[in-house]
A = this chain, B = another copy of it.
Amino acid sequence: MKTIELSHGGGGVQMNRLIRDLFFHHFGNEILLRGEDAAVLAMAGPLAFTTDGFTVSPLRFPGGDIGKLAIAGTVNDLAMMGARPEYLACSFIIEEGFALDELAQIVRSMADELAVSGARIVCGDTKVVPRGAADGLFITTSGVGSVRCPGISAGAVQAGDAILVSRDVGRHGACILMARDGLQLGSDLKSDCATLWPLVEALLAEGIVPHALRDATRGGLSAVLNEWATGSQVGLALAEAAIPVSDPVRGLCELYGFEPFDLANEGTLILAVSAEQAPAAEAVLLRFNAQAACIGEAVADHPGKVVLTSPWGSRRYLELPAGELLPRIC
């Protein structure tokens, strides 16, 4: 079996060959192939710019792998600012001895996910560390995109806004937990890992003006909603029964004592939009996933707080998660 050697990160003959045969082969485009240390791009502002490191374990999980996750994650961060994802950079930190076949599979998975948004990898970096200095593979992806809809912000939610979610929540976190523990609950639970740009593009094409938009990654729905409540100084009032959670995710949460709203998602967005635009926005979301739902509204009461009302009428705060639920989720 061919494996990554230290020389693949040495800046010499072997590194050049790896870059050409693997990265250029799968990511090849006119800008990347120039092979300069920095890519030169013709772009007009305003731009969105983002970065994310990916350390997920296991590297492959039902519904995706670290490569798909790295592309979708960075593309989604751009899309959440109303920006069309255009150019990506990727930096690999690889442990000596990592199987070349596995690396190739991950790179192919990245290339496939790029095709969903049309974004291109235009520069990159490869480091190889000795055995034991990293666990397999870490990928950091950064991206730039052109902002199509300015003004989207965690600070722009207004009392009266509707809060919508694009699908059932908690899948990615639950899926990694299952994969990590080798659980087989007889379910076909898959991560929601996906590129959200087509969905955002469809919302913008319908004239929807998002006030706030966020994919609910680490910290899940709870983290996003608390950030919005604090950032916009509004209250958020949610109907617990309206928040879609799949049966396997709910079952796993009961087993482990997790809150499904705290679990990470990797292809699920939360949208705050004016009450007038809410029905049109929900119709777009439903075209992509039947689980999409309006889950509540922003209110002038209890600013900075997220309040869940249970099906029985009791109310509780949904807090920002504390502690570490699950390391290396993404």
Q: Which B residues touch A37, using CB under 8 A? A: 50, 77, 80-81, 214-215
State the CA gap A125–B132 with chains docked (Å): 23
Q: Which B residues touch A220, using CB under 8 A? A: 11
Main secondary structure of the interface of A (DSSP, over half): mixed
Q: Which B residues touch A155, using CB under 8 A? A: 34
Q: Which B residues touch A130, using CB under 8 A? A: 327-328
A261 interface hit (Cβ, 8 Å) = no
Q: Which B residues touch A181, using CB under 8 A? A: none
Q: C-beta contact mask, A106-134 vs B, less than 8 Å → 1, else 0? A: 00000000000000001111111110111
A29 interface hit (Cβ, 8 Å) = no
Q: Which B residues touch A262, using CB under 8 A? A: 12
Q: Which B residues touch A103, using CB under 8 A? A: none
Size class of the A contact interface (CB-based, 8 Å): 35 or more
A295 interface hit (Cβ, 8 Å) = no
CB distance from A256 to the nearest CB of B (A): 15
Q: Is the CB–CB distance between A52 and B12 below 8 Å?
A: no
List the B residue with the shortest CB-CB distance to A151: B40
Which residues of A are interface residues toward B (Cβ below 8 A)?
Answer: 5-7, 9-16, 34-55, 57, 77-78, 80-81, 83, 87, 89-93, 96, 122-130, 132-135, 138, 140, 142-145, 147, 150, 153-155, 214-215, 217-220, 223, 227, 231, 262, 264, 320-325, 327-328, 330
